[in-house]
Amino acid sequence: MTLITFNKPFRVLTRFTDPEGRATLADYIERPGVYPAGRLDFDSEGLLLLTDDGRLRAAITDPGHGVEKVYWVQVEGEPAAAALARLESGLLLADGITRPARAREIEEPADLWPRTPPIRFRAEIPTAWIELAIREGRNRQVRRMTAAVGLTLRLVRASVGPFALGALRPGEFLDVERTEAGSFRAALLELSARARAGRDARSASRPRVPVRSSGADRRSTGKRGPDRRR
């Protein structure tokens, strides 16, 4: 099994081909058989996991497993404590209420690489950084959540589960050691097994309602009742 941590640069698609000629993973990774476990938006940066193990990919992306993803988000303005509390308690989005999260204001992350092209700053509007940790992965969820705080200027994914960016620079990737990758896989598949067992147990405990056949059903068998013409 192969598991790769990759620092996806800004404006790179999380797939290996693009008919429009945009930058893709193929410009950085030459590993037959590996595919991204989840996605990271074209205009977002940071950690992306890739693997050749289909069950592991499915387990990482399954929201029921609650794999934590940590993001660093640069926003316009100073985030109010009430806005951070809303991020933590759950926000109503178009596709439902978000799960409880962790949110806090932080200093700009140390050793963060400059973005290319750079962020457009406006001198009269301050900016701030938020660290946001979620356990689900809806489409553009982090950007939709941080819209409650202010305009999102930059979004960097810092970690997925036990794996972090570390010293990876944009465009660099690293093979996870087999023992570490195997332990992560085993833990997630165990969660899958428990969830499946729980669903089976709930299904078995539901009372079964007997199915009553209708007159139409009886007629469809071809059997005739007593001939009342006699």
Q: Same domain, yes or no, for 143 and 95?
A: yes
Quick one: pLDDT at residue 208?
65
Tokens representing residue 169 in the block:
């620079």
Q: Measured in whole angstroms, how far is the alpha carbon of residue 164 from the centre of its chain? A: 15
pLDDT per residue as tens digits for the range 14-65: 999 999 999 999 999 999 999 999 999 999 999 999 999 999 999 999 888 8
Quick one: pLDDT at residue 65?
86
Q: Same domain, yes or no, for 2 and 115?
A: no
Q: Which of 160, 188, 216 is the last residue of a domain?
A: 160
Tell me the CA distances in angstroms from 115 to 21, 151, 158, one per residue in order. 21, 17, 15
Q: Same domain, yes or no, for 4 and 54?
A: yes
Tell me the CA distances in angstroms from 6 to 34, 39, 176, one per residue in order. 12, 12, 10
Quick one: pLDDT at residue 139?
87
Say which of 18, 41, 52, 62 is annotated catalytic.
41
Quick one: pLDDT at residue 214?
54
What are the residue ranges in the chain where pLDDT is below 70?
A: 198-230
Contact 7, 1 (CB under 8 A): no
Gap between the Cα atoms of 157 and 144, Å rounded: 15
Q: Same domain, yes or no, for 97 and 49?
A: no
Contact 63, 137 (CB under 8 A): yes
Q: Give this prediction's pTM.
A: 0.84
Q: Same domain, yes or no, for 126 and 75?
A: yes
β partners of residue 164: 159
Is residue 85 situated within a structural domain?
A: yes
Q: Which of 138, 160, 182 is the last residue of a domain?
A: 160
Gap between the Cα atoms of 105 and 126, Å rounded: 14
Q: Is 27 a catalytic residue?
A: no
Size (the chain), residues? 230
Q: Same domain, yes or no, for 166 and 143?
A: no
Is residue 208 situated within a structural domain?
A: no
Q: Same domain, yes or no, for 40 and 108?
A: no
Q: Which of 160, 176, 211 is the last residue of a domain?
A: 160
Q: Same domain, yes or no, for 4 and 36?
A: yes
Q: Domain span at residue 178?
A: 1-67+161-197
Q: Same domain, yes or no, for 76 and 151?
A: yes
**CATH number of the domain where residue 15 is located:** 3.30.70.580
Cβ neighbour number for residue 62 with a 10 Å cutoff: 15
Gap between the Cα atoms of 76 and 58, Å rounded: 35
Quick one: pLDDT at residue 182?
95
Tell me the CA distances in angstroms from 215 to 8, 222, 224, one per residue in order. 64, 12, 12
Quick one: pLDDT at residue 183?
95
Residue 8 has φ and ψ, to the nearest 5°, of -75, 125
Best CA proximity match to 155, nearest among 38, 45, 48: 45
Is residue 170 situated within a structural domain?
A: yes
**CATH number of the domain where residue 144 is located:** 3.30.70.1560
Number of domains in the chain: 2
Best CA proximity match to 131, nearest among 107, 100, 165: 107
